[in-house]
Amino acid sequence: MKNYVIGIDFGTDSVRSIIADASNGNEIASSTFFYPRWAKGLYCVPENNQFRQHPLDYIEGIEATIKDCVVRAGQEVAACVRAISVDSTGSTPIAVDKKGIPLALNSTFSQNPNAMFVLWKDHTAVEEAAQINKHAEKFDINYLKYVGGIYSSEWYWAKLLHILRTDEDVRDAMAGWVENCDWVPYLLSGGDDLKELKRGVCAAGHKGLWAEEFNGYPPNDFFASLDPLLDGVVEKMDKVVYTADKPVGTLSKEWAAKLGLSTNVVIGGGAFDCHMGCVGGQIEPYYLSKVMGTSTCDMLVVPENEIGDILVKGICGQVSGSIIPGMVGLEAGQSAFGDIYAWFKNLLAWPMKSLYEKLDPENNTAIEIKNQMDQIIPLLSEKAAAIEVTENAEIAIDWHNGRRTPDANQRLKGVIADINLSSNAPELFRALTEATCFGAKAIVERFVSEGVSVKGLIGIGGVAKKNPYIMQQMADIMNMPIKIHKSEQSCALGAAMFAATAAGIYPNVESAMQAMGQGFDKVYTPNKTVTEVYAKRYEKYKSLAKSIEKGF
């Protein structure tokens, strides 16, 4: 009897599900569902950094993608599905009632953005994050020590405090605050009592301030003295958290009927997309695994017995077991990566888009305009690759969505400097892609300066697979090779590996990764003719960044 597993990957724009053969990781079927409400821009106010997602986008996505995969794979495969595991963006929490049901699923709150998932890139809690950082200085115990010493507006407690302060109706109705990656396994396993929800160490440790040293979360006094609205919240949260290789239950009757699967299907614990993605991408100790999409998450694992008392400052946390049980997972990343390229594309495409919208969508000219807009990034990449790398060319800072690491500061903004009347679109695009690579280099430098060596780079995700120009630039600027993982769905594949482990098919995550890993299909090595020039430009980048940050 064959064993198959399902991995579900909740991204920013869509959810992707795969059915994988647990013996070798081969993808049997895959399906993608683009969130319809998100695609319309509903519940988002970009100019206020408000980005919310309706839980129905997720629920409809689960049903649509898995049912599609089951149809594609056939009933013989569906009958042999052993487990499902989930990853999601994060920190992406939501207010829920006593049964663990998101408030937005209640008709009273169905159109209230504050009752919906607060997406990872929502920065409406900048003030709350600043207050948490200042407040933490009052305590003898450094409760921020395992999240790099700086709490971010992208994270769990800042977002909760902002919602509590902003919306009295939501505040009065909510019974808990739950991460998406913990809520979906609870949903699929038929949870109906919030007290029974199992929280994962990944979200709790990296965004929720949970640590073994604190015997769980910081004490109630830490939160109540920050704001009385938080009084008692942490006391309702179980101190016990779980690694993602452990099952949280089995598929409920309701969901089994919807999906055409058995109620014997094991539901594994959830984790963030980058954490499961780097497992799908076959992470190795001391190799920085870069999940590159709209933003980046840079993951690194170190054996517990080797890290000693090192605490890396200014990153997104270091948590034992958050990636691979038995190893310390360290997370960093950039708040905007592919988002910056998309922004520049949309900027250039605005006139064409405006013309397109005035035409009949079936008109040949309209179709041609739309097709041409899709070619903007490939064309810019081709032209930018041909530009000679010179020391004094246009230069940019990659803080368009704030800075995640090193040293979180979501107030910061992007910059393009040294432009003149001869600067053209490919040159500005080159400056922007270079800036994202410089931002990546700053992360590597922080790890190394804090005593954690980086032996090499692993590239995962859409940008890594689709844009050779940016990957070559990354290798040149980093001055180290970057190997690109074969899988088109590394996050979903990583989730499938955890599902196989949760079902007992493999004794541990490493065994699942070895058996199901797809390997690497390309390695970019540094071009030594330009590394020296890039090194000089990186110093210029740091100087400009320092002056910009001082101004802010």
**Share above pLDDT 90 across residues of the chain, in percent, rounded to a whole number:** 92
Average pLDDT, the chain: 95
User: Nearest to residue 347, comparing CAs of 325, 324, 377, 367?
Assistant: 377
Averaged pLDDT, 34-55:
96
Note the pLDDT of residue 469.
97
Measured N-to-C along each axis, helices 376-385 and 338-358 cross at an angle, to the nearest 10 degrees, of: 130
Q: Residue 102: count other Cβ atoms within 10 Å of its Cβ.
A: 24
Question: Is 90 exceeded by the pLDDT of residue 358?
Answer: no
Note the pLDDT of residue 121.
92
436 against 361, higher pLDDT: 436
Q: Return all residues near 330 (Cβ < 8 A) that are at least 6 apart.
A: 299, 300, 301, 302, 312, 315, 317, 318, 447, 452
Question: Is 90 exceeded by the pLDDT of residue 403?
Answer: yes
DSSP label at 35? -
Residue with structure tokens 């995962």? 460
**Share above pLDDT 70 across residues of the chain, in percent, rounded to a whole number:** 99
Note the pLDDT of residue 410.
85
Q: How far apart are CA 520 and CA 523, in angstroms?
A: 8
pTM score, two decimals? 0.91
SS (H, E, C) 161-202: HHHHHHCHHHHHHCCEEEEHHHHHHHHHCCCCCHHHCCCEHH
Per-residue pLDDT reduced to its tens digit, 139-185: 999 999 999 999 999 999 999 999 999 999 999 999 999 999 999 99
Question: Is 90 exceeded by the pLDDT of residue 301?
Answer: yes
Residue 532 banded pLDDT, cuts 50, 70, 90: very high
CATH fold of 4-281+487-518: Nucleotidyltransferase; domain 5 (3.30.420)
Question: Is 80 exceeded by the pLDDT of residue 37?
Answer: yes
Question: Is 90 exceeded by the pLDDT of residue 443?
Answer: yes
Residue 270 banded pLDDT, cuts 50, 70, 90: very high
Question: Is 80 exceeded by the pLDDT of residue 360?
Answer: no
Residue 293 banded pLDDT, cuts 50, 70, 90: confident
Per-residue pLDDT reduced to its tens digit, 370-380: 778 889 999 99
Note the pLDDT of residue 393.
97
CATH number listed for the domain at residues 338-485+521-551: 3.30.420.40
175 phi and psi angles, rounded to 5 deg: -115, -15
Note the pLDDT of residue 353.
79
Question: Is 90 exceeded by the pLDDT of residue 545?
Answer: yes
DSSP characters over 217-286? SPPHHHHHTT-GGGTTTGGGS-S--B-TTSEEEE--HHHHHHHT--TT-EEEPPEEHHHHHHHHTT--TT
Per-residue pLDDT reduced to its tens digit, 475-526: 999 999 999 999 889 999 999 999 999 999 999 999 999 999 999 999 999 9
Per-residue pLDDT reduced to its tens digit, 188-228: 999 999 999 999 999 999 999 999 999 999 999 999 999 99
Note the pLDDT of residue 368.
76
Note the pLDDT of residue 122.
95
Q: How far apart are CA 163 and CA 114, in angstroms?
A: 6
Averaged pLDDT, 263-274:
97
Residue with structure tokens 């994988």? 20
Residues of the chain with CATH 3.30.420.40: 4-281+487-518, 338-485+521-551
Averaged pLDDT, 1-12:
95
Note the pLDDT of residue 169.
98
Residue 252 banded pLDDT, cuts 50, 70, 90: very high
Residue 1 banded pLDDT, cuts 50, 70, 90: confident
Residue 462 banded pLDDT, cuts 50, 70, 90: confident
Per-residue pLDDT reduced to its tens digit, 91-141: 999 999 999 999 999 999 999 999 999 999 999 999 999 999 999 999 999
Q: What's the one-letter identity of residue 354?
A: S
